[in-house]
């Protein structure tokens, strides 16, 4: 892995080759609807690669979950690990649209001790800065290695300025931030300059930005080169 981690969203074993050959460091697996996949799909993807595969834990199209779903998520997580998963991605909010640290903490405690990322739910919280404090502060859930965020539910096109300001003003945010949700090339150098060292690609990794197309090695490679070049420029200027 280079100085900047590149995570690529995959839906199918046929996405793996393009992500791997293009220079991805990690894969994020979910269904096309952003839900938890079947364990058989996790196993099929993991068999295709030696890259770490993180799998989404989510069973409905809201950012909340029920007690029954929570039990099922724990079971799925255990199945995913048995199928070769190296980590998870999940994120839940409570009724007040705050980060549900109780639910997240429960999952962390019940599942094998693997790294995990908090998903885009953070962008729907009432106070983004307070949510970051809850996630990355001393009382935050353990094992967290990234928070995937666009700074706004409408994506980076709307949330980029606030996200950049957050990363620029707090090294913990910069270190944990995983920008995703409409990332464009022009944003990368500024985010890297702010200290961000991990990035997420979804539709950008596919021809025409279409989820019907498989991940393309050339598309991923162009982002890999962009990230590495930005990191090298920052390293040279600091030296």
- State pLDDT tens for residues 221-230: 999 999 999 9
Residue 137: predicted pLDDT: 87
Q: How far apart are CA 132 and CA 183, in angstroms?
A: 20
Q: How far apart are CA 79 and CA 62, in angstroms?
A: 23
| 87: three-class secondary structure by DSSP | strand
Partners of 149 in the beta sheet? Answer: 179
Q: How far apart are CA 106 and CA 168, in angstroms?
A: 31
Q: Structural domain tally of the chain?
A: 1
Residue 112: predicted pLDDT: 84
* CB neighbourhood size of 124 (10 A): 15
Is it the case that residue 120 has pLDDT exceeding 90?
A: yes
pTM: 0.95
Q: 46 pLDDT band (50/70/90 cuts)?
A: very high
Asked whether 94 and 65 are in contact (CB, 8 A), the reply is no
Q: 1 pLDDT band (50/70/90 cuts)?
A: very low
Q: Which helix (H) or strand (E) holds 199?
A: strand 198-201
Is it the case that residue 239 has pLDDT exceeding 80?
A: no
Is it the case that residue 99 has pLDDT exceeding 60?
A: yes
Q: What is the CATH number of the domain that holds 123?
A: 3.20.20.380
Is it the case that residue 76 has pLDDT exceeding 80?
A: yes
Range of the domain at 182: 5-238
DSSP letter assigned to residue 111: S
Residue 2: predicted pLDDT: 57
Phi, psi of 98 (to 5 degrees): -110, 160
Residue 205: predicted pLDDT: 97
């Amino acid at each position: 892995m280079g100085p900047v981690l590149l995570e690529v969203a995959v839906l199918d074993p046929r996405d793996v080759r393009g992500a791997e050959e293009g220079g991805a460091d990690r894969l994020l697996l979910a269904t096309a609807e952003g839900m938890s996949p079947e364990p058989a799909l996790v196993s099929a993807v993991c068999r295709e690669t030696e890259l770490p595969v993180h799998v989404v834990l989510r069973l409905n199209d809201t950012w909340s979950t029920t007690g029954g779903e929570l039990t099922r998520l724990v079971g799925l997580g255990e199945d995913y690990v048995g199928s070769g998963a190296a980590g998870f991605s999940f994120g839940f909010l409570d009724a007040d649209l705050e980060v549900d640290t109780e639910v997240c903490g429960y999952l962390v405690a019940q599942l094998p001790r693997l790294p995990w990322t908090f998903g885009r739910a953070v962008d729907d919280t009432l106070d983004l800065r307070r949510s970051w404090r809850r996630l990355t502060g001393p009382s935050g859930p353990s094992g967290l290695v990234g928070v995937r965020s666009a700074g706004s539910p409408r994506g980076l096109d709307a949330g980029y300025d606030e996200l950049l300001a957050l990363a620029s003003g707090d090294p913990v945010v910069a270190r944990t931030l995983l920008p995703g949700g409409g990332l464009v090339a022009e944003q990368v150098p500024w985010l890297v300059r702010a200290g961000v060292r991990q990035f997420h690609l979804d539709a950008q990794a596919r021809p025409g930005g279409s989820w019907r197309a498989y991940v393309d090695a050339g598309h991923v490679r162009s982002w890999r080169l962009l990230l590495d070049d930005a990191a090298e420029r920052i390293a040279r200027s600091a030296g």
